[in-house]
Amino acid sequence: MKEKIHPELKDVKAVCACGETFTTRSTQESIHVDMCSQCHPFFTGKQKLLDAEGRVEKFKKKYAKKNK
């Protein structure tokens, strides 16, 4: 590999909008993020399935096993 062409990585503190902080490596001095694993709905289990116009029920009805 060529020398002195890669940026230097530093340990930086990333700060989330919820207040959570964690350490990572980056070429930037500091990182501010909107969501992290502590406040993201997918990871916290608070994610809700939005049913737009009955699409979920329509899918379940279409692909449900039929009792013969």
pLDDT score at 10 = 94
Q: Strand, coil or helix: what is 51?
A: coil
Q: What is the pLDDT of residues 8-43, one digit of tens each?
A: 999 999 999 888 999 999 999 999 988 888 887 776
**CATH number for domain 10-63, candidates 2.40.50.100, 1.10.10.10, 4.10.80.400, 3.40.50.970:** 4.10.80.400
Domain ranges of the chain: 10-63
**31-33: strand order across its sheet:** 21-26, 10-16, 31-33
Indicate whether 52 pLDDT > 70. no
| Residue bearing tokens 């916290």 | 44
- 48-61: average pLDDT: 72
